[in-house]
Structure 1
Amino acid sequence: MPTYAAPGVYVEEMPSAQKSLTPAPTAIAAFVGFTERAPNDDPSDPEGTRPRLVTSWTQFEELYGSFTPGAMLPLSVYGFFQNGGTIAYIVRIPNTEPADAPSTASLPAADRALGSPVHVESLEQGAPLQVVVRTVDADADGPAPFDLDIVGPDGTTIESFTNLTLDDSERNVATVVNAASHTVRVRVDLADAVDLSSLLEVMRPGTYPLVAPAPHPVPVSPKRFAGSESARTGINGLTIADDVTMVIVPDLVTAATRPDGTIDLAMWKAVQTALIGHCERQGNRMAILDAPPGMTPQQVREWRSDVAMYDSAFAAMYYPWIRVENPVGTNGQSEVLIPPSGHIAGVWSRTDDTRGVWKAPANDTIRGCLDVERSITKNEQALLNPIGINCIRPFGTRGIRIWGARTLSSDSDWRYINVRRLFNMVETTILDGTQFAVFEPNDVTLWEGITRTLTAFLGGLWQDGALFGASPEEAFYVKCDAETNPPAVIDEGRLVVEVGIAPVKPAEFVVFRISQHKQLAG
């Protein structure tokens, strides 16, 4: 209480006992896998392995490059944004190492008949250098000499050599450069019958980068996928990204494919188990899992039941894989088979935006999907749906749709994806929005303020259709009083609030009971 000593009018600002809660974001994805290159804008993270936020496909390309053979992540991220996603974290896992060979460049002659007679290679393995060729104007008889500069990756000239030639004089480019250069070696290849005396220019001016050899792929173990929370790498590195709600590992197939083309199912299970464990520990996100490719419905059912044996409310699995346009164009193929998880994450985001997180992300089309790996019949889905495998099925003129909305949980309370994600959103919103109560006096005033705050938030969800019930009393309750906070609880410094909500569940089976109505004679 302020102390009033002098007569006058005083104005006091009283803090409101009721706060407003803003729903936590629900459509933020995280992708873990391989990319064309690492971002180069953070010197403290040269390999680009820490989680990085992107908000568009263009921004992804600027940081990580575009589509590239041997990486599913770019295709999945593209499908995510194509289907309505807006925010994603990227966690790059290095899957290549530089080749143990120099960078090279072949410098073209001015006369095309000579081809590229000057060959330059770096002394350092894979050095990112450039060679600049400049023609020197000279009035002397014979071909004009040329200058050659070696330029470093920062654009500065490291070495310069002037008045060079291709003939057998003492200014021959190979003789001069190899005797003095500390960065490159030069070789000249000219046919014995070539007459240079008739040429005015022997080399074509220009800037020519030394091209490093293609990096070698290296095996990526399940431990590399799991990563480290302290090092901010892999799946566990996403611990610092508190707002992530979906996690996808599309390049699991890239790492788990053996040289003979078969899938290492032990590795498949190990990585997906690590992903599920991460999501369960965080408690605010779900794993979107891909079934292994190439399996029939019976095979994927047996794998799910006898090998994988996942049981988690924080994971959902989709089958089969989908076909999309092949942007790389490898082997002349116009389509490529990819895991559906990235596109599914985009549909989840689109559903959250248009309907709300409480709407099951199913019975919706997948943008960019040209076909499925295998068409699933109704009877085949009857084998997969009860064990939590959500099918992707073509429906003719209705398009290719997601035809399932189940988690991998055996607990009927958490059977549906939208129920688990709704609780994730509500729990995160309450956790973040009630921090004001920490260290406040634990009395009736605080209890009533907390009750009003949560009642207003949950009442808004009920009005939006997120909760089941004809009235707010049927949809939810908030209890924070002397019963939940007896003296023993208060003495321990705790404030206990009970919240119960009745989530809406999807109409998974729509049944019409039709009978023949016979009109009785009067």
Structure 2
Amino acid sequence: MSRFLTPDVYTEEVPLLPQSVAEVSTAIPAFIGYTEKAVKNGKDIGNMAIRVSTLLEFKEAFGGAQTASFNVKVNDDNTIGNIEVTAPQHTLYHAVDLYFKNGGGDCYIISIGSYQNDYNKASFLKGLEVLSKEDEPTLIMLSEAVRLDTVDYHEVCQSALAQCQELKDRFCIFDIQKDDEDATSFRNGIGTNNLKYGAAYTPYLQTSLTYRYNEDNVLISGSSANAAVQLEIAGAIRVVYNGSVQDAPKVKINKGSGSIPSFSISEATLTINVGVGTPASEIIDTWNSFSDKGDFDITLLNGATIVESSTGTSDLINTADDEVSVSLSSIKESRSELYSRVVSEVSKQRIVLPPSAAVAGAYATTDRERGVWKAPANVSLNAIIGPVRKITSKDQEKLNVDATSGKSINAIRSFVGKGTMVWGARTLAGNDNEWRYVSVRRLFNMIEESTKKASQFAVFESNDAVTWLKMKAMIESFLYGIWQQGGLAGATEEQAYFVNIGLGKTMTQQDILEGKMIVEIGLAAVRPAEFIILKFSHKLQEA
């Protein structure tokens, strides 16, 4: 109470409005995986939870995507044939990119190693430990962990579910490993604990994202890519022609008494003037300083010398056991047409990713546009060409409803005229009447966390009717807003929720003596219309 000791005019502000509950964020994923680097402002940020808002922020702190390598076969008619892709081992960059492309917002990144590291269970468990100390993340993403051994992956998933149960403010989005098409292995390995805090999705997705690559790691082979190879004189040097084999390339050797090698090129014929007994290394040194090489190249095979042999002209033929490949970078200047064609075809190769990153983006979009109480399903995914495996309605029956273990798996399906859709909204506790649906679990998470944080003001306040009234009014106001937006079921407030607090209602005199203030909150959560049944019958003619 104010004390007035000096004559004057005093102003006081009397609070009339009750405390309010601020709704916490519901779709803040935390990605755990391997990155190119982990440096921010010159500081190592490995095994730290770093918040990023855009892909550019991710690249500045964690680098770009790991590079892929390609083997490109060129046909005799100079067209591109088969392309073999060695996909990158680490795909966290692409997962984050896919998340943003599907409407994702702020997220956390926990880098548990670089691209030089192999996958191991201990690193992911360490990442989960780091995540447990963060308050804001609400979704746990383990898309990179699917590359672990099956047993190790399931153990990491169990640890993530245990963290959700302990903190009660987050939810897991799991992927089914690629070779586990019917999810039998996942269902057997995930156990039975804390299943209401996670949801699993299948199959993998063919995205529209392209690979990052270095031109030196794109190898081109085929008769039109390079001419065959002639191994000259005792296997000392190799002459390679990088032009078309249709040019009929030739190599001409003029041997004399001169000690300094020289070269000349006329059309597709390379002339080498060299003295008898000249070391092969000297030929290579002179060739490297020769400016007009054209499409030819000479490489050293060993330390042999050029021995005496008759002068003559030979066609280049393949004397190697395997077909020789040239890199994309080596033909950039000499064969620009083929270079452009290879670049065009390589850019058409698309990345296959687990679905969880795209699903997390769908969660964020649904929460933002409709609310966390709307099931994140029947949502079209962006930057997706389609699932790698088509799932029919018959196939989904066994995934969606599992009478044996009750572990539901949500399907990603492709529909004509609609695109690729998330076609499932169940948690792993698919047979649980209370926690069957993702939207119900996440709605309770949001309300519980928001109410918990807003109730901090009452800690150490008087445990009496005045404080109880403030708590009750604050929570009821919050729930009323959610009910008005359609987040709670019921035609009236009384049908949608209730808040009880007080002596004789939720507390005994002993509870008050022990400093306990107990609030009981009941919610009628809206549930998705998963099965819509239309019943038709004949109406008899009346006139």
Deviations 1:366-425 (A, max 9, x none): 101111110000011010001310000000111110000010124220110010110111
1:358 and 1:504 in contact (8 A); partners too: yes
Aligned to 1:363: 378
The CA deviation at 1:81 is 0.8
* Cα separation, 2, equivalents of 1:323 and 1:329: 16
* Cα separation, 1, equivalents of 2:498 and 2:42: 48
* Cα separation, 2, equivalents of 1:42 and 1:276: 34
The CA deviation at 1:47 is 5.7
Aligned to 1:269: 154
Determine whether 1:342 maps to 2:357. Answer: yes
The CA deviation at 1:220 is 3.3
1:40 and 1:48 in contact (8 A); partners too: no
Q: Structure 2 matches for 1:74-473, cutoff 5 A?
A: 74-96=93-115, 217-227=116-126, 234-254=127-147, 256=148, 264-297=149-182, 300=183, 302-311=184-193, 312-328=195-211, 332=346, 334-386=349-401, 387-409=407-429, 410-473=431-494
The CA deviation at 1:364 is 0.5
Deviations 1:257-287 (A, max 9, x none): xxxxxxx211221221122222222210111
Aligned to 1:183: none
* Cα separation, 2, equivalents of 1:61 and 1:305: 36
Aligned to 1:400, what secondary structure does the other structure show? strand
1:482 to 472, 486, 503: 503
- The higher radius of gyration belongs to 2
* Cα separation, 2, equivalents of 1:218 and 1:34: 8
Aligned to 1:90, what secondary structure does the other structure show? strand
The CA deviation at 1:224 is 1.6
Gaps of 5+ in 1: 97-216, 228-233, 257-263
Aligned to 2:59, what secondary structure does the other structure show? helix
Deviations 1:178-221 (A, max 9, x none): xxxxxxxxxxxxxxxxxxxxxxxxxxxxxxxxxxxxxxx44332
The CA deviation at 1:335 is 1.3
Of residues 493-502 and 328-337 in structure 1, the stretch that sits farther from structure 2 once superposed is: 328-337
* Cα separation, 1, equivalents of 2:151 and 2:11: 70
1:455 and 1:478 in contact (8 A); partners too: yes
1:449 partner letter = K
Determine whether 1:59 maps to 2:57. Answer: yes
2:38 and 2:61 in contact (8 A); partners too: yes
Q: 1:252 to 1:304 in 2, by over 3 A?
A: closer
1:71 partner letter = H
The CA deviation at 1:12 is 3.0
Aligned to 1:411, what secondary structure does the other structure show? coil
Aligned to 2:523: 501
* Cα separation, 2, equivalents of 1:463 and 1:218: 51
Q: 1:47 to 1:485 in 2, by over 3 A?
A: closer
The CA deviation at 1:325 is 2.6
* Cα separation, 2, equivalents of 1:358 and 1:83: 19
Matched residue count: 382
* Cα separation, 1, equivalents of 2:463 and 2:189: 51
TM normalised by structure 2 equals: 0.68
Aligned to 2:286: none
The CA deviation at 1:344 is 0.6
1:26 partner letter = T
Higher strand proportion (structure 1 or 2): 2
* Cα separation, 2, equivalents of 1:509 and 1:14: 53
* Cα separation, 1, equivalents of 2:128 and 2:433: 28
Aligned to 1:25: 25
TM normalised by structure 1 equals: 0.70
Q: 1:220 to 1:88 in 2, by over 3 A?
A: same
* Cα separation, 1, equivalents of 2:56 and 2:473: 44
Q: 1:253 to 1:307 in 2, by over 3 A?
A: closer
- % identical equivalent positions: 34
1:314 partner letter = Y
